[in-house]
């Protein structure tokens, strides 16, 4: 999809806007930049359609807007554009684009930022109907339904904002509970803290401590120069322990250390963390939401 800024006439000598072509991805970037000046620069429907055309993805609030407009649907748990949306993109384009695409200036992480800032727009205007109370580890959550969209949302029973859920009742309450756990807790840090072992009886050198997580080992060195960590085969890296007591907060220091020593720790331990979260979720208790 392409648009030309001026196809009717050449720009006047004093015209300082260059004649250029824009891809759909360019427009997503442009709208994201405009929203820094005007938060209402474009509708979620428009941005979602452009984002789907350029990146084949859209934020949950954009997906909701597209579904309301009849331009999006859920198929096999995946969000897709309807034929009507595809026809719009085809009919109002000038043909296939084979030129060079400019690297996205605002595209990186913009979807996550907009999702965080906008996810409750529709939930505020059309509050979900409470259908269940879900207890996870002693904390009660209200599960609400947006029946027209076949979507669920959750919030704390004590109050607060609603948040979208990607799982449905058909996926099972354990899946819903696992999604809530992942959304409300730092599951990677909790998993590491709960399962790691301090190998106190292993002599690894002066001022050095060894920690083990099911065979994955990392070292912590605390001396006059500060706190440092490393894994086998790598150099020592500094760890910020400001405000932490070396003895009382050693567990927190160890978790901070592995997150430094293994920058992709969240991805590295993802499968184990997900399985652990599902085990916790399996113990969740669901009750009907009466008088809420």
The pLDDT tens digits for 26-55 are: 777 777 777 777 777 778 888 888 888 877
Judged on CB neighbours under 10 Å (0-12, 13-18, 19+), 277 is buried
SS3 assignment, position 121: helix
Q: Is residue 271 part of a domain?
A: no
Instruction: Please tell me whether residues 61 and 39 are part of one structural domain.
Output: yes
Last residue of a domain, one of 63, 98, 119: 119
Q: Is residue 76 part of a domain?
A: yes
pLDDT on residue 124: 57
Q: Is residue 252 part of a domain?
A: yes
pLDDT on residue 186: 92
Instruction: Please tell me whether residues 216 and 91 are part of one structural domain.
Output: no
Q: Is residue 267 part of a domain?
A: no
Tell me which of 99 and 199 has the higher pLDDT. Answer: 199
Instruction: Please tell me whether residues 10 and 115 are part of one structural domain.
Output: yes
pLDDT on residue 68: 78
Instruction: Please tell me whether residues 132 and 105 are part of one structural domain.
Output: no
What is the model's pTM? 0.56
Number of domains in the chain: 3
pLDDT on residue 181: 93
Last residue of a domain, one of 119, 139, 159: 119
How does pLDDT run across 51-94, given as a tens digit for each residue?
888 777 888 778 877 887 888 888 877 888 888 888 887 777 76
Q: Is residue 96 part of a domain?
A: yes
Instruction: Please tell me whether residues 226 and 99 are part of one structural domain.
Output: no
Q: Is residue 270 part of a domain?
A: no
Instruction: Please tell me whether residues 15 and 88 are part of one structural domain.
Output: yes
pLDDT on residue 6: 42
Per-residue confidence at 285, pLDDT binned at 50, 70, 90?
A: very high
Per-residue confidence at 126, pLDDT binned at 50, 70, 90?
A: low
Instruction: Please tell me whether residues 196 and 173 are part of one structural domain.
Output: no
Q: Is residue 47 part of a domain?
A: yes
Instruction: Please tell me whether residues 66 and 170 are part of one structural domain.
Output: no
C-alpha dihedral sign at 222, 228, 230, 234: negative
- For the residues 149-155, what does the mean pLDDT come to? 85
Question: Across the chain, what does the average pLDDT equal?
Answer: 80
pLDDT on residue 94: 64
Taking a C-beta distance cutoff of 8 angstroms, is the pair 262, 268 a contact?
A: yes
Tell me which of 213 and 129 has the higher pLDDT. Answer: 213
SS3 assignment, position 267: helix
How does pLDDT run across 238-281, given as a tens digit for each residue?
999 999 999 899 999 999 999 999 988 998 999 999 899 989 99
Q: Is residue 268 part of a domain?
A: no
Instruction: Please tell me whether residues 178 and 138 are part of one structural domain.
Output: yes
Instruction: Please tell me whether residues 99 and 126 are part of one structural domain.
Output: no
pLDDT on residue 264: 87
Measured CA to CA, the distance from residue 84 to residue 262 in angstroms comes to 46
pLDDT on residue 71: 87
* Domain enclosing residue 166, as ranges: 122-184+276-288
Instruction: Please tell me whether residues 106 and 14 are part of one structural domain.
Output: yes
Instruction: Please tell me whether residues 95 and 127 are part of one structural domain.
Output: no
pLDDT on residue 12: 44
Last residue of a domain, one of 73, 101, 119: 119
pLDDT on residue 107: 44
């Amino acid at each position: 999809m392409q648009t030309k800024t001026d196809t009717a006439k050449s720009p006047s000598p004093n015209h300082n806007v260059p004649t250029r072509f824009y891809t759909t991805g360019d427009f997503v970037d442009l709208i994201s930049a405009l929203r820094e000046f005007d938060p209402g620069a474009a509708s979620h429907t428009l941005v979602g359609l452009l984002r789907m055309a350029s990146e084949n993805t859209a934020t949950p609030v954009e997906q909701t807007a597209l579904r309301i407009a009849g331009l999006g649907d859920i198929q096999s748990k995946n969000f897709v554009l309807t034929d009507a949306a595809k026809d719009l993109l085809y009919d109002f384009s000038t043909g296939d684009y084979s030129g060079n695409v400019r690297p996205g200036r605002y595209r990186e992480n913009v979807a996550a930022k907009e999702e965080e800032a906008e996810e409750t727009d529709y939930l505020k205007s059309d509050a979900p109907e409470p259908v269940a109370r879900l207890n996870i580890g002693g904390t009660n959550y209200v599960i609400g339904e947006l029946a027209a969209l076949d979507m669920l949302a959750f919030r704390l029973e004590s109050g607060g904002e609603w948040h979208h859920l990607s799982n449905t009742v058909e996926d099972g309450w354990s899946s819903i509970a696992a999604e809530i756990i992942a959304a409300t807790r730092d599951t990677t840090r909790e998993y590491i803290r709960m399962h790691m072992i301090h190998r106190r009886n292993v002599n690894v050198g002066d001022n050095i401590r060894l920690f083990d997580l099911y065979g994955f080992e990392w070292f912590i060195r605390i001396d006059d120069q500060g706190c440092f960590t490393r894994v086998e085969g790598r150099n020592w890296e500094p760890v910020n322990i400001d405000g932490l007591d070396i003895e009382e907060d050693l567990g927190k220091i160890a978790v901070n250390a592995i997150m430094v020593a293994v920058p992709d720790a969240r991805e590295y331990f993802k499968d184990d963390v997900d399985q652990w979260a599902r085990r916790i979720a399996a113990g969740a208790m669901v009750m009907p939401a009466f008088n809420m």
